[in-house]
């Protein structure tokens, strides 16, 4: 019998949530996703040692303000990690717009253009890249404009139905609803344990998936942020699932039949929601979990972005000594 990972591949596009080049080569996902946390881990490995030296040398040649140079080098390293992943996977690589731009539509668009240009300079066209934006109102508006330009977007840090509806209205290419972080919040809030079927994160993604299929929405649903294989199995059949290497390995070793839970042909009719900014902000405000986790997620990504830039500063200072 084939492993559960192979069975999952037959019904869902499997994406690797990592910058671990060796794991990606071994597990052969279709796509990869990155974020500041993943980039920070990746450049601390021996695989990217030469790229770090090269980026630091480039940064020293630029001159100018130390903070600006460090930010530019950090951006370069993020593209280096993405380019290395793009050389392995046949599909897309998601690259994140700086978390500290999450409430600035125009700055997010500008950064997205810079990311696309940086990949193109390495011979990687926009069709291989997804621009990753936080699912704030401003991030969603940035995605709307970018999609109109033919730049596909991945709306991340998505925790609520309001965010999912707004992303669909913006014609986002893909959304990344976070399963595990939703579960984390409810476990802490209620003190309860949940099964795979009652897991609030799983329930949320199933609801969003059903809404999209029932209303003929083409935006791809890609479940993310998994805590265990039970959550993944409970979403088998979802358009895409982005999974960490340790869970991919666990699925690869697991035997038994994997039951399909989601299918584009099976959904319950549900009326579309008319979404505007006022409705979006009110619905998000009324969802305590989503409000807290969105804010927390942006802060965490911003923290790792600062850590990445600080690491670069140290490397620049060492190179100058």
Q: Point out the residues that are catalytic.
A: 132
Q: Which H or E element spans position 296?
A: helix 288-320
Residue 202 near residue 258, CB atoms below 8 Å: no
Cα→Cα distances 79→19, 87, 113, 118, Å: 11, 12, 13, 7
Query: Positive or negative, the Cα torsion across 158, 163, 169, 170?
Result: negative
93 φ, ψ to 5°? Answer: -125, 125
Alpha helices, DSSP H only, in 28-128? 36-43, 49-62, 66-86, 105-121
d(CA 107, CA 146): 12
Strand partners, 175: 155, 221
DSSP one-letter code for 171: T
Cα→Cα distances 127→43, 50, 91, 124, 131, Å: 25, 27, 9, 8, 11
Cα→Cα distances 264→54, 141, 160, 201, 209, Å: 46, 27, 21, 20, 8
d(CA 218, CA 157): 19
CA nearest 82: which of 134, 38, 133? 38
Residue 202 near residue 234, CB atoms below 8 Å: yes
Residue 59 near residue 317, CB atoms below 8 Å: no
């Amino acid at each position: 019998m084939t492993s559960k990972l192979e069975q999952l591949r037959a019904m869902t596009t499997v994406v690797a949530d990592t910058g671990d080049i060796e794991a990606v080569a071994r597990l052969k996902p279709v796509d990869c996703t990155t974020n500041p946390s993943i980039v920070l881990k990746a450049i601390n490995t021996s695989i990217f040692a030469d790229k770090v030296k090269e980026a630091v040398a480039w940064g020293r040649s630029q001159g100018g303000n130390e903070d600006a140079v460090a930010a530019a080098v950090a951006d370069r390293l993020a593209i280096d990690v993405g380019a290395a992943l793009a050389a392995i996977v046949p599909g897309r690589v998601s690259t994140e717009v700086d978390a500290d731009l999450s409430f600035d539509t125009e700055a997010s668009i500008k950064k997205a253009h810079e990311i696309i240009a940086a990949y193109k300079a390495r011979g990687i066209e926009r069709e291989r890249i997804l621009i990753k934006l936080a699912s704030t109102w401003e991030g969603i508006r940035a995605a709307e404009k970018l999609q109109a330009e033919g730049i596909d977007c991945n709306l991340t840090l998505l925790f609520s139905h309001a965010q999912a509806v707004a992303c669909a209205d913006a014609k986002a290419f893909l959304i990344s609803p976070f399963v595990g972080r939703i579960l984390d919040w409810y476990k802490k809030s209620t003190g309860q344990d949940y099964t795979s079927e009652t897991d609030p994160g799983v329930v949320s993604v199933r609801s969003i998936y059903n809404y999209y299929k029932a209303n003929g929405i083409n935006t791809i649903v890609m479940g993310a942020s998994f805590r265990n294989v039970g959550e993944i199995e409970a979403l088998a059949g979802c358009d895409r699932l982005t999974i960490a290497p340790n869970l991919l390995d666990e699925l690869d070793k697991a035997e038994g039949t994997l039951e399909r839970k989601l299918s584009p042909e099976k959904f319950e009719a549900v009326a579309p929601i008319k979404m505007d900014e006022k409705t979006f902000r009110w619905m998000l405000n009324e969802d305590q979990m989503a409000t807290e986790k969105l804010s927390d997620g942006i802060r965490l990504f911003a923290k790792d972005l600062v850590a990445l830039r600080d690491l670069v500063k140290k490397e620049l200072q060492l190179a100058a000594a």
